[in-house]
C-alpha cells in the first residue's frame, strides 16, 4: 500500500516518484466523475473524462463529433479507435506529465491494451479504483439527473435539486434530460458495461495491478471519497 501511495501523491516530491494514471471503474451513474474531481483537488493532477471530451466534440460539430453523436445517443460504446485517439492526444499534453485521472476509459480490452502501450511508452505507473454500486440505485440516480442547456450545470432531483423545479439556479433556463440519461439508454449502457467493461477488472487483477474496490452505493460523495482516501492512505 505504501508503494501505491508513492505513485499517486505528487506532493511528496520524491526523486524516484513515477507519474501515475489512476483508472476509475464503475457502471454509468456510479459517481466516477464526482470522485475524479475530488481526487483531482486532492492530488493536483488532471481529470480526463472521455465522456466529457466526446460531448465537447459533438457540440463543436467537427467530424469526430458527428461520427459519435448517434452512437452515444443510442447508449452504445464509441469505437475503440476514436476513443484511443482522443486519450492519446490528451495525455500527451504538458499538464499530464505528473499523472492524471482517467474517468470512463478504458472500457474494452482493446482499449486497456492500448492504454498499457501508451503508459509504458511514457513511463507511467497505474492503479485501479472500482466503484461498486447497486444497479437499481444507478438507474434511479441517472434518471433523476437534469442539466442546464445554457451553462451545463448538472442537478440531481434527489441529492442536488434546483431551487425551482426544472429551472437552473444560475440562469433560469429550463433544465433538460440528456439523451444518454433516459432510462432505456441507461439500461443499454449498463448491459454494455457488464458485457465489455467488467472483464477489465479481471484483466488488471491477472496482471497484478494495484486495484481497490470501494462501495459507491450509499453515502454522500464526500463519504465515498473518504473511503478512497483511506484505501490510498491520502492525507
Q: How far apart are CA 81 and CA 79, in angstroms?
A: 6
Q: Examine the residue annotation and report whether 145 is marked as an active-site residue of this protein.
A: yes
Pairing of strands 154-156, 145-147: antiparallel
The catalytically annotated residue of 90, 145, 146, 227 is: 145
The catalytically annotated residue of 57, 69, 90, 107 is: 107
The catalytically annotated residue of 178, 182, 187, 229 is: 178
Q: Examine the residue annotation and report whether 229 is marked as an active-site residue of this protein.
A: no
Q: Examine the residue annotation and report whether 178 is marked as an active-site residue of this protein.
A: yes
Which grid coordinates are listed for 213? Answer: 474496490
Contact 44, 234 (CB under 8 A): no
The catalytically annotated residue of 69, 146, 189, 227 is: 189
The catalytically annotated residue of 32, 57, 141, 227 is: 32
Q: Examine the residue annotation and report whether 37 is marked as an active-site residue of this protein.
A: no
Contact 148, 178 (CB under 8 A): no
Enumerate the active-site residues. Answer: 32, 107, 145, 178, 189
Amino acid at each position: 500500500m505504501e508503494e501505491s501511495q508513492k505513485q499517486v501523491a505528487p506532493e511528496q516530491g520524491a526523486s524516484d516518484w513515477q507519474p501515475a494514471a489512476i483508472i476509475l471503474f464503475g457502471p454509468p451513474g456510479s459517481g466516477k466523475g464526482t470522485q475524479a474531481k475530488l481526487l483531482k483537488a486532492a492530488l493536483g493532477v488532471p481529470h480526463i473524462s472521455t465522456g466529457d471530451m466526446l460531448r465537447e466534440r459533438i457540440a463543436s460539430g467537427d467530424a469526430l463529433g458527428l461520427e459519435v453523436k448517434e452512437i452515444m445517443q443510442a447508449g452504445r460504446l464509441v469505437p475503440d479507435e476514436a476513443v484511443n485517439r482522443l486519450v492519446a492526444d490528451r495525455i500527451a499534453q504538458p499538464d499530464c506529465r505528473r499523472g492524471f485521472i482517467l474517468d470512463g476509459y478504458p472500457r474494452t480490452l482493446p482499449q486497456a491494451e492500448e492504454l498499457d502501450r501508451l503508459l509504458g511508452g511514457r513511463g507511467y505507473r497505474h492503479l485501479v479504483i472500482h466503484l461498486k454500486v447497486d444497479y437499481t440505485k444507478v438507474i434511479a440516480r441517472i434518471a433523476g439527473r437534469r442539466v442546464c442547456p445554457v451553462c451545463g450545470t448538472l442537478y440531481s432531483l434527489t441529492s442536488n435539486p434546483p431551487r425551482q423545479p426544472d429551472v437552473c439556479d444560475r440562469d433560469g433556463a429550463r433544465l433538460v434530460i440528456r439523451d444518454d440519461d433516459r432510462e432505456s439508454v441507461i439500461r443499454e449502457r449498463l448491459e454494455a458495461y457488464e458485457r465489455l467493461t467488467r472483464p477489465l477488472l479481471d484483466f488488471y487483477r491477472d496482471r497484478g495491478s494495484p486495484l481497490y474496490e470501494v462501495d459507491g452505493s450509499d453515502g454522500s460523495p464526500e463519504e465515498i471519497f473518504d473511503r478512497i482516501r483511506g484505501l490510498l492512505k491520502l492525507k
